[in-house]
Structure 1
Amino acid sequence: MRFSIAWAAASVLALAVSGVAAAQETPAGPAPAPAVAAPSEWRTVAPENLMVIDTGKGRILVELAPEAAPGHVARIRLLSGRGFFDNLPWHRVIDYFMAQTGDPLGTGEGQSPYPDLKAEFTFRRDASTPFTAVAAPAGSVVGFIHSLPVQTQPDALMASTGDGKVHAWGLYCPGVAGMARDEAPDSANSQFFLMRQPYPALEKRYTIWGRVVSGLDVVRALKFSANADGIVAEPDRMTRVRIASDLPEGERPRVRVLDTRSERFKTLAETVRQARGADFSVCDIDLPVETN
């Protein structure tokens, strides 16, 4: 069954981190809310990078991350444009973990008719990549590329690499979108999952291709299973899935996210860091979003 390997290997860890996840969901002390951002400090998500998932529980908006996984983003755009995801179930949902869909069989065994994808567990970034650092643990840097939380090698190493780039990888914070696969690294196809809670055990093992910018409450409201395999008996469904650029102009949602390159974001990040202290994680930073 696709994606069952990761859960079987991490099920014990899940029990250990569930309390941590819950604690991250409710920080020890509420951080002061930042002042309202000026218009110039907002970034509008490009329609071609906005996935619109309608469900019976509400709408989920996912910002695609072509910088991190261009091949997987291309597949998501293709399948969404062809209506492949319409009416498919959230067949595997595990609380304090993730919600999985994209299987036309609804069993965890199905996939699209297209070839499997080559893994994109990590990627290379250079000085032109829109990366904003928020912390620098030993030997690395964590921050954001648009709405996606990432960890990367420091910029200083770019001068010593042949291509002028350094390694980076997405982090499995709440809302992050990953691709399901079986044991083979290059076996992802059409099944994907959205994180309900942070789960770092998946990092550099499952391709990350985007993040929920609106509707995480919907992801967490999806019916979940108490069974070990996570299969939901009567699952919620995606009613329609499209990329915003494929929708008529009048139907496209407009999404603005606080620009991580702005001074307002830097203030927000520092406020959260100080509030969380030694427990700080990049997953603690919630980017302000406006939709209409």
Structure 2
Amino acid sequence: MMHRFLLSAVLGSTLLATGCSAQESVSDKIANVSESEVSAPAEAWRSVDPENLIIIDTAYGVIGVELYPEIAPMHVEQIKSLVRSKFYDNVKFHRVIDGFMNQTGDGTNGDGTGDSDLPDIAAEFTFRRDTSMPVTLVGVRENGAQKVDVGFYKSLPVATQPTAQAMLTADGKVAASGLHCKGVTSMARTNDPNSANSQFFLMRDRASHLDRQYSIWGNTVMGRDLLTRFKVGTVGEAGFVPDKMNTVRIAADLPENERPNIDVMKTSHPAFTTFLNSQKKPDGTFPDICDIAVPTKAG
């Protein structure tokens, strides 16, 4: 079987961390989550749709990932189908690279060579947006000889053509793509761009060389600090005992009293402008977009 792979990165040393008690329930772990300490009025926050929120229970705590069906509809549909079939329960993080990403999702072989029984998915490396998908711009990035606007769609860091160019396009939309920053979730594949199936990875750090090469379908909105706790290594290496996803559920499928309430700051609200200004470097410029995380609250 061919491995689902990512473009190369250097393996780092193994990280060790103390996990949560085996007796602690998912709802208990969620109740103990504390995210943003940013203060803002109630109207500055939006609630994450529980139908587009997956809850990943791990030894270190609970991770919540917001899904974006408007950006990668086929990938989100497949992920949700696999979650609802409990395909991801007890699945290993079979390849974890320090400073890069945590790869998982091989519920068949557990070593990166397996897939689900569902069909492979066509690439969704980019998307098109109009004014119904507003992006709050925070800067520019070099893209070869050109510069590209970067900002946030909801909590997802993206690169985009200027909205004004929409009036020049046949569909009234402009091209955009997600950025592989810490917390972003993206789909693993072989060298065939249309070969994503069940394996995915959660970014531990930025990896701009993956942009527009892999299909981004979500972003971590709860438990972001847990992403760097998973033990580093690859299944098959001597002494490596991989961490795993204990259970993966869609929040809407959990009993209401066990469902997390996750709020994300609206990037269109003045409170976000205040937050951005607090992130400026001493020279008055903003850091790279991958060094900015949209504030979230979980409970």
For 1:20, the equivalent position in structure 2 comes to: none
Q: 1:181 maps to which residue?
A: 189
Partner of residue 125 from structure 1, selected from 129, 142, 145 = 129
Structure 1: which 4+ aligned runs deviate by more than 6 Å? 227-232
Q: Deviation per CA, 1:19-73, whole angstroms, max 9, x where unpaired?
A: xxxxxxxxxxxxxx99610001011100011110001121111111122211111
2:101 is equivalent to residue 98 of structure 1: yes
1:230 shift after superposition: 8.2
Contact persistence 2:151–2:159 (CA under 8 A): yes
Q: Does 1:284 align with 2:291?
A: yes
Aligned CA distance change for structure 1 residues 277 and 207 (closer, same or farther; 3 Å): farther
Q: Would the alpha carbon gap of residues 133 and 156 (structure 1) be closer, same or farther in structure 2, given more than 3 Å must change?
A: same
1:100–1:194 contact (8 Å) kept in structure 2: yes
Say if 1:122 and 1:287 are closer, same or farther in 2 by CA, change over 3 A: same
Amino acid at match of 2:184: V
Contact 1:139 1:153 in 2 (8 A): no
Residue of structure 2 in register with 1:107 after alignment: 111
Does 2:198 correspond to 1:190?
yes
The verdict on how the C-alpha distance between 1:122 and 1:229 changes in structure 2, with shifts beyond 3 A counting, is: farther
What are the within-5 Å matches in structure 2 for residues 24-43 of structure 1? 36-43=39-46
- 1:198 & 1:275 partners in 2: Cα distance? 22
Structure 1 stretch displaced more, 128-137 or 236-245: 128-137
The answer on whether the counterparts of 1:4 and 1:229 sit within 8 Å (CA) in structure 2 is no
When structure 1 is superposed on structure 2, of 57-66 and 127-136 the one drifting more is 127-136
Structure with greater helix percent: 1
Gap regions ≥5 residues in structure 1: 16-32
Identical-residue share of aligned pairs (%): 47
User: Contact between 1:273 and 1:280, CA under 8 Å: does it hold in 2?
Assistant: yes
Count of aligned pairs: 270
1:246 and 2:250 correspond: no
Indicate the RMSD between aligned Cα atoms, in angstroms.
2.3
1:188-207 Cα offsets, whole Å, 9 max, x none, are 00000000011101000000
Alpha-carbon distance between aligned partners in 1 of 2:268 and 2:291, rounded to the nearest angstrom? 18
The one-letter code sitting in structure 1 at the alignment partner of 2:68 is: A
TM-score by length of 2: 0.84
Shift of 1:276: 6.8
Of 155, 161, 186, which residue of structure 1 is paired with 2:169?
Answer: 161
Once residues 272 and 78 of structure 1 are traced to their aligned partners in structure 2, the CA distance between those partners, rounded to angstroms, is 38
Q: TM-score under structure 1 normalisation?
A: 0.86
What runs of 5+ residues in structure 2 fail to find an aligned partner?
A: 13-35
Asked if 1:84 is matched to 2:87, the reply is yes
Note if contact 1:258-1:288 (Cα within 8 Å) is conserved in structure 2: yes
Query: Residue 3 of structure 2 aligns with which residue?
Result: 2
Q: 236, 244, 266: which one pairs with 1:237?
A: 244
SS of the residue corresponding to residue 231 of structure 2 reads coil
8 A Cα contact 1:154 1:166, kept in partner:
yes
Structure 1 residues 5, 248: closer, same or farther in 2, change over 3 A? closer
Q: SS of the residue aligned with 2:243?
A: coil
Offset of 1:107 from its aligned partner? 1.0
How has the CA–CA distance of structure 1 residues 237 and 35 changed in structure 2, closer, same or farther, with 3 Å as cutoff? Answer: closer
Which of 53, 69, 73 is the aligned partner of 1:66? 69
Single out whichever of 85-94 and 262-271 deviates more from structure 2.
262-271
CA contact (8 A) 1:34 1:268 kept: no
